[in-house]
Amino acid sequence: MQTLSDLADQLEHMSPQVRKAASHVLENPIDVGISSIREFAEAADVKPNTLVRMARSVGFEGYEEFRELFREDIRRGPFNFPDRTRWLQSLGQRGKLGELYRDMISTAITNIEDTFAGIDDRQLKSAAQTILKSNQVFTLGVGVNSSNAHNFTYLASTGMVHFQAIPKNGSTPVDDLAWAGKKDVLIAITCKPYRSEVVSAVRIAQEQGVKVIGISDSAASPIVVGADHGFVVAADTPNFFPTSVTTIALLETLLSFVIALSPAEVVSRVRKFHDRRHQLGLYEEGV
């Protein structure tokens, strides 16, 4: 961050107390974004107005404007889950939930736009055709992506029978792929920080000749590099974990292409599936 460089450059020209405050900022930049001016001043052992003088020494009108840069850096930067959690709590403590609400909505819309701006229908059609030519489709997600993988598999299974979400209960991804081969497909999902079991499963699947569809948040992701079909989703979020909004949207779009390119019998299977659910009384009519 340029502000930190500016502070470091100005240290020798600062008064002792301002230098003390600036040194504390340089040593604890994350705390600037999640602490009140009084809390940070106490931690630095200076008075709050010293922080104001420090901010002005590097071109800011006041400490609030200075601190906003650090808040934004936490929101967008590669900070860990506890840092993001503390930042979210600081918004609540400062009565900024309306700001958080607007930010979450804006980010979700921007992520959708950014994701699909980088993907065209030819890529989706090619991936869908690979799926349709396969004997088995394994959808792999762990942690937050476990539910995404299961949801995709559940929806696909209403009309097709060769989909399965892994890892299965009591198993590991590698175990579930033990007998997969050249006529099978693995859809793998993981975002930074990349889950090692997903990365390992992709490598083993590739060694076995399995076609890989990788979904991640970077073109440099280990499950996208070398994949037969790689898709990059925008996963930026004010929250402390990568968003699933774009992953779900991409999976639903991919499945819609699979259905659109499927033989007519898939339609009758979907109809039969839902008719049976109605017959079994699984649905309630609205009042």
CB 223 within 8 A of CB 216: yes
Q: pTM of the prediction? A: 0.67
Q: How far apart are CA 76 and CA 93, in angstroms?
A: 20
Band (127; pLDDT cuts 50, 70, 90): very high
Band (158; pLDDT cuts 50, 70, 90): confident
Query: What integer is the mean pLDDT of 36-52?
Result: 88
Band (66; pLDDT cuts 50, 70, 90): confident
Position 72: which residue type?
Answer: E
Query: What integer is the mean pLDDT of 118-127?
Result: 94
Position 145: which residue type?
Answer: N
- At residue 13, the pLDDT reads 85
Average pLDDT over the chain reads 85
Query: What integer is the mean pLDDT of 127-133?
Result: 96
- CATH architecture of the domain 111-278 equals 3-Layer(aba) Sandwich (3.40)
Domain limits, the chain: 2-75, 111-278
H helices within the chain, ranges in order? 2-10, 16-27, 29-34, 37-44, 48-57, 63-76, 81-93, 97-117, 121-132, 144-156, 173-176, 196-207, 245-261, 265-279
Tokens of 34: 């999640």
CB 52 within 8 A of CB 62: yes
What torsion, rounded to 10 degrees, do the Cα atoms 13, 58, 18, 84 define? -140
> Which of 10-19, 92-101, 182-191 has the weakest average pLDDT?
92-101
Band (175; pLDDT cuts 50, 70, 90): very high
Of the chain, the percentage scoring pLDDT greater than 70 comes to 85
Say yes or no: domain 2-75 is CATH 1.10.10.10: yes
Q: How far apart are CA 22 and CA 11, in angstroms?
A: 7
Would you call 171 exposed, middle or buried from its count of C-beta atoms within 10 A (0-12, 13-18, 19+)?
exposed
Tokens of 119: 């993907």
Identify which has the larger pLDDT, 184 or 8.
Answer: 184
Q: How far apart are CA 33 and CA 82, in angstroms?
A: 13
Band (28; pLDDT cuts 50, 70, 90): confident
Q: Measuring CA to CA, how many Å separate 139 from each of 1, 193, 221?
A: 39, 19, 17
> 57: how many CB neighbours lie within 10 A of its CB?
20
